[in-house]
Amino acid sequence: KQEVTQIPAALSVPEGENLVLNCSFTDSAIYNLQWFRQDPGKGLTSLLLIQSSQREQTSGRLNASLDKSSGRSTLYIAASQPGDSATYLCAVILSYFSSNDYKLSFGAGTTVTVRA
Amino acid sequence: ETGVTQTPRHLVMGMTNKKSLKCEQHLGHNAMYWYKQSAKKPLELMFVYSLEERVENNSVPSRFSPECPNSSHLFLHLHTLQPEDSALYLCASSQVSTESNYGYTFGSGTRLTVV
């Protein structure tokens, strides 16, 4: 069974500092990995999707790397802002499955607070 | 409308009530999902529908009953729930094939409180 772990569970930084969020998974045979953001009591917003053949994806201040062999992904957020305060979730999709559908395995998330 | 829409946003129900959660996706995706998010716990997959056929029932109690009448709509029918069923229920959709996956899109969720 795929286990997804996110460290740290919570992170508080002053505005302007770079954020580094870690995600590890036990089964390296993943199809792709997706990073989400969740604001309190709200749904999930997709940030970045990394296919298994890719090493990284970038969008604005966000950069996510993927190292399948070591079972790790890292989300970098440059020059953090108070609006970046949220919970960040990592999810992986296995490359093998019993039917033609794709299921996500989620980590518990990292709750980020950016202090003004 | 675009994306994945869930209604209602908030729901309070008694343990003897019957209610339904609704999800609608406007993305042309062919798979839809129900997830449960309880406080301090990772998201739990409840049901998966691929091409309108249920392909997963992840040991969910029978008091939760899904329905997928077409590829754009997904319902979760609730009856005789327990207080521990109080949670955020999230709907998601994706486009699945053997060739590609463009990731998941989630709705804003329904906050359910069972009293």
pLDDT tens per residue across span B18-73: 999 999 999 999 889 999 999 878 888 898 887 666 666 667 899 999 999 998 99
Strand stretches in B8-115, DSSP E: 10-13, 18-25, 31-37, 44-50, 53-57, 64-70, 73-79, 87-96, 101-106, 110-114
B75 and A CB contact within 8 Å: no
Task: Please report which confidence band the pLDDT of residue B97 belongs to, taking 50, 70 and 90 as the band edges.
Answer: confident
B31 and A CB contact within 8 Å: yes
DSSP helix/strand/coil, A96: coil
| B96 vs A44, A102, A108: nearest CB | A102
- Taking the C-alpha atoms of residue A75 and residue A56, their distance in angstroms, rounded to an integer, is 10
pLDDT at residue B95, rounded to an integer: 84
Residue appearing with tokens 């039917």 = A99
pLDDT at residue A73, rounded to an integer: 96
Contact status, residue A70 vs residue A84, Cβ threshold 8 Å = no
pLDDT at residue A59, rounded to an integer: 95
B101 and A CB contact within 8 Å: yes
Residues A27-86 pLDDT 10s:
877 878 999 999 988 899 999 999 888 899 999 999 999 999 999 999 999 999 999 999
B50 and A101 in contact by Cβ < 8 A? yes
pLDDT at residue B96, rounded to an integer: 77
| CA distance, residue A106 to nearest chain B CA (Å) | 6
Residues B83-92 pLDDT 10s:
999 999 999 9
pLDDT at residue A29, rounded to an integer: 79
